[in-house]
Amino acid sequence: MNLSKGYLLFLSAVLTILAVAMVLPFLQYFLIAVLLAFVLYPGHRKLAPEIGPKTSAFLLIIMATVALIIPFVIMVVAIAGDAMRLLEELQEGEVGFGPVETWIEDVTGEEVDIAAIASDAAQDVAEIAVGEVPGVVDALTHMLVGLGLALFLLFFFLKDGERLVGWVREITPLPEDVQDSLYENVSDITAAVLLGHVVVAIIQGSIAGIGLFVVGIPNALFWTFMMIILALLPIIGAFLVWGPASFYLFTLGDVGPAIALFVYGAIVVSVTDEFIRPLIVDRKAEINPSIIILGVIGGMYFLGFMGLFFGPVILGALKVTLEVLNEHYEELDEAEGMAD
């Protein structure tokens, strides 16, 4: 390696480290922009030739804001109201755990005061929330700046998407056919995660939430939101809410609603995954549930909330990269020999 190459590599490494350091504080919002760009780009590709890339990008961002962000804010406000009511009920001891406590004492012989435990926990949460008000203000400011940055990035990802992809392909030291195979497979994996797991989780959690509303579970909207999040975990999913909910009704003496909720969850909610997933995802792009679980949990630790989506994508991308490497290994050797 000559001095010029060494200097350029060193300069590239230093600038890359500085760039990463500047992006990290807003990594979540950068990932949001990437995710939305992936979802909206097919529509942009159809609209851009008709109305121009700038107008198309701007129009799609407005549509995405109306279709996603506004309903999300309304849902968060409603869920926050449910959560606050639940917190107040726990603090004031209005949530009846008597039948559950009696059942536990009959089975184990141990007296458990669930109401007191829940009330103490609620009090601790309230004290922490009050003490963190300045931090909440800072976090809200950071979020608003981040959302503005995400929309700004999304506009340019859509408007200049083709040039960005072309630049990436140009600087990637791989033959064209290998890049085609790699990017196509990564795109399929990303679509499989978004459609096969995020959409299915929303549908599954919402269907389970209908059951909670019908049998009269308190704060059903809050628990529906929790089931949508939990449904991102295959196999376990929404059962972590509707299962205990049916048990809670049973201990209260509401045997009919308890059985109805359990049967509804076991039949309707649990098989939703098996019937809906094949309708919206090609089986060739299906990801093993173990990859999803590891990707979701590990992704959340590594990337925060956006790890729910990008964790499985990263593991899936590793899988297809290894498959492409295995498929084109000899071709890469020949290409390197020709270059030498």
Write the DSSP symbol of residue 29: H
Give the model confidence (pLDDT) of 120-150 as tens digits: 555 555 554 444 445 556 777 777 888 888 8
* CA atoms of 102 and 104, how far apart (whole Å): 5
Query: Residue 264: left if φ>0, alpha if ψ -120 to 50, beta else—which one?
Result: alpha
The one-letter amino acid at 208: A
Pairwise CA distance, residues 246 & 223, whole Å: 13
Q: Are 161 and 41 in contact (CB under 8 A)?
A: yes
pLDDT higher than 60, residue 192? yes
Mean pLDDT, residues 314-333: 79
Domain positions in the chain are: 25-163, 172-327
**241 and 230 in contact (C-beta within 8 Å)?**
yes
pLDDT in tens, 208-258: 889 888 888 877 877 888 888 888 776 677 888 888 888 878 877 788 888
What span, in angstroms and rounded, lies between the C-alpha atoms of 268 and 210?
A: 11
pLDDT at 283 over 70: no
Burial class (CB in 10 A: 0-12, 13-18, 19+), 269: buried
- The answer to whether 153 and 27 have CB atoms below 8 angstroms apart is no
Residue 95 has pLDDT above 60, yes or no: no
Residues 6+ apart with CB under 8 A from 222: 79, 82, 83, 86
| DSSP letter, residue 117 | H
340: pLDDT confidence band, cut at 50, 70 and 90?
low
pLDDT score at 18: 92
pTM (2 d.p.): 0.69
